Amino acid sequence: MDQDCICGVTQAKFRIKKAWSVDKKTPESIVMLRAVAFVHFICYHPGFSTTALTVKQQFFLALAIAFPFFRVAIFGDPDIITDFVVPAGANAVELDGKFFTYTGMRRLVISDPPANFTVTKAAMPEFPALNGQSVSYAVLQYPAGSVNPPHTHPRAAELLFLTYRTLEVGFVDTANRLFTQGLQAGDMFVFPKGLVHYQLNCDEKNFAIAISAFGSSAAGTVSVPSTVFATGIDDEILAKSFKTDVATIQKLKAGLAPKA
């Protein structure tokens, strides 16, 4: 085996082992260690070509192997190597407890219940201190008979805690299986990451309140009705997709149009 290849593998193994000990076995270090191990196996395998890999060839082989897995490993919020992320333009020395405090929920305590379904978020755009902390929060208020339409959170699971009255909730998995449950105050329900889900207040007389926690500072929300019918997709495409006519699609779009 070429001495450059042996030297390259040895150096790479040393660097990955060092990262393994420092980073406490992060997904990134695990992926790269596996890639190096795979290259090491190829270089020493009896059936491997007698023409050894150069250090540069070895590097690109490891990169090609690791790339698809590395993308999976960093799909969620990235790990940070500091205690917290200082906003651009801010001085870390000048930050105090106010930076880590969010007061946007205070109005919920003193205001009357809303007329329509309302979500009050404490995510990274509203609360910059959450950047890098892999957590966010939302308070959901459901007037009598209201619904939080089918939607997804592409970057995090949602853990819902019902604090007042009752809700009907559900989600659909990738096998098109529907999971539903009636919740009472004090119950919790988890919506797996990326799956379509909804909440309905079946009570026609009383409002309901829930609190949701997310495993990301920016979980994202993709509304199914708005995404499908309010983003400019051609009526003919939608009519064929839903096996209906254009007139029906236009009625659905009209119902989702902003009210003047």
Q: Which residues contribute to the annotated binding site for oxalate? A: 148, 153, 158
Q: What is the DSSP annotation of 101-164?
A: ---TTHHHHHSPPPSS-EEEEESTTT-GGGTTS--EEEEEEE-TT-EEEEEE-TT--EEEEEEE
Which residues fall within 8 angstroms of residue 159, CB to CB, at 6 or more apart? 188, 189, 190, 191, 212, 213, 214
Rounded-to-integer distance, Cα 30 and Cα 24, Å: 10
Using the 8-state DSSP alphabet, how is residue 45 labeled? -
User: Annotated binding residues for Mn(2+), as ranges?
Assistant: 151, 153, 158, 197
Rounded-to-integer distance, Cα 135 and Cα 132, Å: 8
Question: Quick check: 167 and 208 in contact, CB under 8 A?
Answer: yes
Q: To 10 degrees, what angle do helices 27-44 and 55-73 make?
A: 140
Residue type for position 240: K
Question: Quick check: 191 and 151 in contact, CB under 8 A?
Answer: no
What are the backbone angles phi and psi of residue 228, rounded to the nearest 5°?
Answer: -80, -45
User: Annotated binding residues, as ranges?
Assistant: 148, 151, 153, 158, 197
